[in-house]
Structure 1
Amino acid sequence: MTRRRPAVAVAEFARYLRTETVGGMVLLAATAIALIWANSPISGSYQALRDLRVGPGSLHLDLSLETWAKDGLLALFFFVAGLELKRELVVGELSKLRAATLPAIAALGGMVVPALVAVVVGGGAPGMDKAWAIPVATDIAFALGVLALTASGMPSGARVFLLSLAVVDDLGAIVVIAVLFTAKFNLVAAGIAVLLLALYWYLQHKRITSPLLYVPIAIGTWLAVHEAGVHATIAGVALGLLTRVRRDPYEHEAPAVRLEHRLQPWSSGFAVPVFALLAAGIPVSAKALGATFDNPVAIAVLVGLVVGKLVGIVGASTLAIKLGLAVRPKDLGLRDIFAVAMLGGVGFTVSLLIADLALTGTMAEQAKTAVLLASMIASLLAAALLVRRSKVHQRRRTEVEESA
């Protein structure tokens, strides 16, 4: 019995890390550490750590730790996102057309409107040719964390709506990253990546389960995609989408579910926080903030996330319901959708990634400041709205119970 306790403890800790609340808290803690460190008297050590280059140059992998975090660690995050997206599309909420229509349309509105708002606000400012993409993303972990903390009285449909919306939203962000940030294209490397992905699918189809095969294939796919010139996180998404999600009769759980349970703690407890630690360390002095609000690109990102996301999600949802294209989830009113839609402005992880890809130097730092400010504003406003709506739903349930 004594020998088994550590394994049980590890399993419990992994289960703990899988909860949205804890994932959001770890991410928030990593961001706070980055901001404090980058604005402390020892900020030079933070910059030195971020710029430290490691890896074999012969494989074109002599990269900074910051680049390893956004190209390597986030590939794990996107692999888990790909698993969740595949599961939702095949056996989850998005597999049912009527249930999937509303969050899908809402997600589309939540991507198109923020981009348009950013373009209008940013005008022809330098960098806006790619910076318009920064506010299209919603951070799944952070948004669900805020929802879990503040919306205990909300109907279960609120979480399903937000999760489905965020998953579709992330798929859109992935497409944007693949199309917008492919500067060069190595056809041979891309061909190798396709062959490795085909081999991965074939092994899944043949019900092969050995990690001795899958781990080298996954690493090889990442290397090939990186060498092809496509952002390497796309490898994670592709592998996730090719993973089998239907359970065979002799299986306890499907491979996608098994992998998601094993890797989610590493994604939310290590990969995403380390990325935030290395990406979120930006100057927040009065001078730096003043410069941010003088930058039309940063203002465009801020308004796109806080205003564009809300208008896009609520507007698209309302229009879809009124036109009969979608049905509102049970017990979820338009005011509830408004409160949940406010969480769409929490761009964070993917928005920080796109800011790093779209801009450089001071411009990138100011855009990332705008992402952090927008995420904070959206979180606080959403929390206030969700607490209020939770109280309304709790009061209604109490009244029903008393009248029964």
Structure 2
Amino acid sequence: MKQYLSDRINAMEASATLAMAAKTRELKAEGKDIIGLSLGEPDFNIPDFIKESAKEAIDQNYSKYTPVEGYLELREAVCQKFLRDNQLHYTPSQIVISTGAKQCLANAALAMINPGDEVIFPAPYWVSYKEIAKLAGGVPIEVYTTIENDFKMTPAQLEAAITPKTKMVWFNSPCNPSGSVYNRQELEALAVVLRKYPHIFILSDEIYEYINFTTELYVSFAAIQGMYERTITVNGLSKAFAMTGWRIGYLAAPEWIAKACNKVQGQMTSGTNAIAQRAAITALKASKSEIQYMIYEFKKRRDLVLQLLREIEGLKLNIPEGAFYVFPDVSAFFGKTVRGRTLHNASDVSLYLLEEAQVATVTGEAFGDGNCIRISYAASEKELREAIRRIKESLQS
């Protein structure tokens, strides 16, 4: 029946992270002892003060349709957040609240990309970027980075990728899957290139902003000279506040772009969940100190995971400075044969670890890097220690 589906759906790849999560659930239901390190979801519970605000919203009968662009109070809270954390001045008319950051990305793509427009992605990139751009008719242009350079795109690489058809650059810092964080000097160097091409717009995905282990002040791309009027900044509450299931994302952009995104959303889903929006107001107004315990724990786990992975001969590692992933190069295992099974690529390694070690990871091929696998350390220390013990045992066999 595939022939009856649209060409755009037939050309679209399924999300590898969600597919692995589904496979993990399936194996667990069969009684397999699978340790899931594939999904980008904090294992913490939502802070109690946010839960209480949601309960109050229910009692206050926030049950009607919400404005397409989001409650004014929430958009004002987003503006306050940008001013407090990023020294960026926005008005509520420049903000759109969506059902998760992923919808923000889709809104921006449909609002900005015409068929044939080229969209640059530094690889590795988050799995959905490429498919969202393709759905909008865009042509993905992948810029391959290296583990030796901490998976960061250089100005020379950016310049080489730009053509007269380039419309956008999609950018993610801290990065999923690599954990890379660009500092101010690196962003300014990229901006030097972009200032030569005023027709190019930037989508800066900053969903992992708070989960940042560097000692430097986080810098939003829109804060770089000359970038404010050309940058769509996407963020949300899923990662830092452990609110994945509440589906609250937001974007900030020049008003004409925000209005276009609002127009798209108005025809697709309308306004976002009322109760989740009221809880998000409370979350965004809170001090970052309220969630610092999660960030501290993620850093502690990162250090543990790196320590344990360094004991596995053949893995190549860098030090991720944000998010909650490590992205080791496993290419040393390509061509190896275990019990008659040859590992040809990262997908083979990831599947081997699922079946032999019973540890779920994600192939780097889904992120645009065929040499690596992604390991999430959003799990307990006990699970991480056992998972890496299994990985070590399986790879050293």
TM-score, normalised to structure 2, is 0.26
Which structure has more strand as a fraction of its residues?
2
Which structure has more helix as a fraction of its residues?
1
